[in-house]
Amino acid sequence: MILWLNPATGLSGDMLLGALLDLGAPLDEVRAAVSATGLTHWKLDAERVDVDGIRATRARVDVADEATERRAAELVQRVRAASPPAVAALAARAVTAVAEVEAALHGADPAEVHLHELGGLDTVVDTVGVAAALRALDVTEVHSAPVGVGSGEVRTRHGVLPVPAPATMALLTGARVRGIDVTGETVTPTGAALLKAAGAEYGPMPAMRPRRTGYGAGTKRFPGRPNVLQAVLGEADAAPDGDELVQLETNLDDVTGELLGHLVARLLDEGALDAWVVPAVMKKGRPAHVAHVLCRPADTGRLRELLFAETGTLGVRDRRVHRTALPRTATTVDVGGHPVRVKRGPHGAKAEYEDLKAAARALGLPLREVAARALRPGP
């Protein structure tokens, strides 16, 4: 399912959780994921409220926790205990993102940095709750309209800071934002971190078939502007004879062949549908390579970050592409007592290279002979 968010008046962790509950995420399932962290003395309820004429759901989080600051590593350890693992992973990415920007701002180690306003255990409920709700709704892609940010100042433990606060602004790097006529904080670090962790893509509503619409209520009130987060859940509206994918690419003129081989393998391991490298000649006759990645829209943000991290490149291009994929079947055949996977399509067949290599080594035969046997019609 595709989730599209319209944070016209901003975004917070509890607003996002409320919107997902309003869309139908089962409250009991969300509570169960939080309970798996071992957190005690907490409550999560969903309250139907009226916000300037709009019916919305407010996620009410109550935690018996007097500490307002603690090491980020403690929170990361806590959310990683959530269940199932996919929920824990998303929640951990969100808390880790907060820790990393706070560490950068204060010149500290992310593992040792202390979170102040976000150090409370309610952050565990917000991050794990949102992750569990996304999973319960079977969300595979998250898209968002530009996030509405206010102006003015906010008082923090470090004193009076401009709005958006430095940590929030750092977490919104790469997102699309727009200023709105509201004085005060409209976006919280938790809200921004959750969108980052979910790999949100920013832009207009994607091609989809809407199935449900929900609204998450914020606690603040702004004159003439309902403080709600609109969320739309729908099914992908794929082209009738194919699907819409994203192709990433970047030019590389300062990496080794070993790194390129590692890069392709790593991208495929991390969920890319395909990855390849093409030789190129750049300015001044410099030899180079162009790394390409084909992926699903939901994986774009994560694989883009992997390209940056592995290659050190300063820019990655992306574009939507349409793929027409023919039907195929996968079978396993026996070659001399060794299993070899074979993929068959309407116009041909191909054996899995790694299986051919293993069988050829074990049988002491040329690889091409093993391949011929694997593709030989059966009796």
pLDDT tier at 174 (50, 70, 90 boundaries)?
confident
Q: What is the pLDDT of residue 68?
A: 61
The domain locations on the chain are 2-236, 243-323, 329-375
Report the share of the chain in percent with pLDDT over 90.
47
- The better pLDDT of the pair 114, 324 is held by 324
Kindly state the tokens that stand for 288. 């180079």
- pLDDT, one tens digit per residue, over 341-376 is 998 888 889 999 889 999 999 999 999 999 999 998
Domain 243-323 in this protein, CATH class: alpha beta
Any alpha helices (H) in 198-299, and if so which ranges?
257-269
| Alpha-carbon distance values, 121 to 61, 111, 126, 131 (Å) | 10, 17, 9, 16
Q: What is the pLDDT of residue 237?
A: 67
Q: What is the pLDDT of residue 145?
A: 93
Work out the average pLDDT over 290-315. 92
Quickly tell me which residue has 């509201």 as its tokens.
Answer: 182
d(CA 149, CA 185): 7
**Contact call for residues 16 and 130 (beta carbons, < 8 A):** yes
Model confidence at 298: pLDDT above 70: yes
Nearest one of 123, 134, 144 to 189, comparing CA atoms: 123
Q: What is the pLDDT of residue 47?
A: 92
Average pLDDT, the chain: 87
The enclosing H or E element of 274 equals: strand 274-281
pLDDT tier at 119 (50, 70, 90 boundaries)?
very low
Kindly state the tokens that stand for 28. 């009991």
The amino acid sitting at 67 is: A
- The better pLDDT of the pair 159, 243 is held by 243
pTM over 0.85: no
Q: What is the pLDDT of residue 84?
A: 86
Q: Within 13 Å, how many C-alpha atoms sit on residue 358's CB side?
A: 12
- pLDDT, one tens digit per residue, over 101-113 is 877 866 666 666 6
Kindly state the tokens that stand for 44. 């999560």
Q: What is the pLDDT of residue 41?
A: 84
Kindly state the tokens that stand for 115. 């979170």
